[in-house]
Every structure is written in C-alpha cells, then in structure tokens.
Amino acid sequence: MHKITLIPGDGIGPEITKSIREIIEAAGVEVNWEIVNAGAGVMDEYGTPLPEVVLDSIKKNKVALKGPITTPVGSGFRSVNVAIRQKLDLYVNLRPARILKGAPTKFENLDVVIFRENTEGLYVGIEHNVGDDAAESIKIITRKASERIVRAAFEYAKKNNRKKVTAVHKANILKLSDGLFKSVAEEVSKSYPEIEFDNKIVDNMCMQLVQYPENYDVLVMPNLYGDIVSDLCAGLIGGLGLTPGANLNDELAVFEAVHGSAPDIAGKNKANPIALLLSACMMLRHLDEEVAATNIEEAVEEILAEGEVLTGDLGGSATTTQLTAEIIAKVKAKEEKIA
C-alpha cells in the first residue's frame, strides 16, 4: 500500500484526478490517498492559496500527485505551482516529450527529455516598478543550482542509456547569467565522457526541434527556457493533453501535467485526463510499479491509434468519463492476459 498526497487542484483538476485514481485502482495498485487542497478555493479558510498542511503532507509522504491549479494573470497571488517547487526545493522539473503511437501529430521522431531548473531564474519573482512607466525583473543564476540541474540531466542520461545532453542558454546576449550556466554545464560534462555534450542558443534550439527533432535526446536549461521549450515540444507530440511532468529533488517527488486548469470546460465532462495519467505513470515507476505503468501507457497508445474514444482536444467527441472507462477496460484486459 502506497501513501500518496493528492492535490486535486481546481478547474478540471478534480475531474481528471478522479479519473486517475480510478485507473490506478484498475491497474491493481493499492494507494492510500491523502487529499489536501490548494489554490483560490482555500483562500477564505487559510488566508493563503498554499497552506502549510499541503507542504507538510508532501514532506511526510514523499510522493504527491497534483492536479492543475489556476494562476491569476497580471494580478493576484503568485503561482502555487512555482511556490510548491521553491518551498520544497524541487529543483528538477522533468518533462519528457515522446510521440505516442497514434498521437495527432505530423512528426515521427521526437523523444526528448527536458530538465528545467526549477528554483531560480526569472521565476524567483523579484520585481519592482521604476517610476510609473517601467518595471524591472531580476534574473538569478547560481553555480550551485546550475550544477545540480546539469548533473541531474547527465545522471538521468547515464541511467536511462541516453546518448546526448544539450545545454540550452542565451549566453550570446546574457553573458554573465546564462554565461555562468553554460560554463557550469561544460564543466559538469567532463565528468561524463561517455555521453555526448553540446550546447545551443535557445532560439536556435526551438528551430532545431521543429526541423530536426531526431537529433536531440536530453535537454537541460534554466527555468524560463524550460517552460517555453517544453510547451514547444508538447505541440510537436500532439498537444499539452499528452505531456506529463514531475518536480523532483533527492527526497521528494510531485507529479503533475504540464497543462493548466482549463476553467472554461471545468465541470463539463470534457477534460482529457491523459497528460496527468502519463504523469501518474512516471509516479508509478518512481514507486517501482513498472507493470502497472506499462499497462496504462500501452492502453493509452492503443486508444490513440484506434481514434474512436478521444476527447475534443484530440479530435474526438468522447467525455472524460467515456475515455476513462475505455482506458480501464484496456488495462483490465491486459491484466487478465498476463494472469
């Protein structure tokens, strides 16, 4: 029995986390879910969108699954997602981008893993106004944070038989901050002579991924670039509805989809749970539940290839409930075949 923190989130979060719980149960994995809430819905009760009870639960259980949480644009509280990463020092934002069989994309050969530094860069949120007509944001890049994210990327490559690590930066313009990141990456790469290393300027990297995606393997980069490049890759593999993610350090792991809370379709039974489900598969592997994770991923690929039970974002008309039921049916069929 696994004890896992569950943060349902808001918008479509409660609907898709319900689906994931049902699918994981159908896959034969026993979980004791500890449900805690964050976001705008808890402001009245706690006076903050991120109560300490949420952080305490993650620290205690070591593993969490988080639904999407709305971030106000231009005003209001800062991102709960960013706050969780920073308060728990979840310095790795891991976002695999692999084209699944049957996915709605014209590309064929994209299979990259993005390591995004999660705790600094522009996302530290140090901003101030300069008079009435200007604003200034401060970007922070440190040797410590750069070294540990680059080393995490190389360790992942080594463990998973990946052949190449590419550091992404803008050191041609930001010669001190991104220059530091680039130089640290070059230093760390010397400890892994068996793994090919190169570096790319971020704008060129985006073009390269669209034109020659098969040339890239593991990408590592500062915070903002990781956010942008991972969404670019999501577009190449079929959309945010197919893109999983995780936030990690040496002790804690919080798994989440890359997409947002989609409040426009909340409560309408239209949400696609696949991205969060694939994030949950990453979580299952983290918990050594390899068979269940593989069965779920194969079920998803079969459904995409068949093209009959898909939600609107994937070109179909199925409801969340219908897609969930179809995944469960295929997962159970695989279990029976194994038995």
Among left, alpha and beta (phi > 0; psi -120 to 50; other), residue 299 is alpha
Residue in 10, 91, 170, 330 annotated catalytic: 170
The tokens describing 310, both together, are: 């898909």
Residue in 10, 66, 91, 123 annotated catalytic: 123
The strand pair at 253-257 and 63-66 is best described as parallel
Residue in 3, 203, 250, 268 annotated catalytic: 203
Q: Residue 259 is which amino acid?
A: H
Residue 104: closest CA among 206, 240, 213: 240
Contacts of 184 (CB under 8 A, 6+ apart): 143, 146, 147, 150
Number of residues that make up the chain: 339
Is residue 198 among the annotated active site residues? no
Is residue 203 among the annotated active site residues? yes
Q: Map residue 317 onto helix, strand or coil.
A: coil
Residue 289: closest CA among 2, 35, 32, 64: 2
Buried b (16+ CB within 10 A) or exposed e, 126-162: eeeeeeeeeeeeebebbeebbebbbbbbbebbeeeeb
For residues 192 and 154, is the Cβ–Cβ distance under 8 A?
Answer: yes
Start-to-end CA distance of the chain, whole Å, equals: 21
Number of other CB atoms surrounding residue 317 within 10 Å: 10
Residue 324 CA to residue 20 CA, distance in Å, equals 8
Contacts of 175 (CB under 8 A, 6+ apart): none
Residue in 91, 200, 216, 227 annotated catalytic: 227
Q: Residue 282 is which amino acid?
A: M
**Active-site residues: which are they?**
123, 170, 203, 227
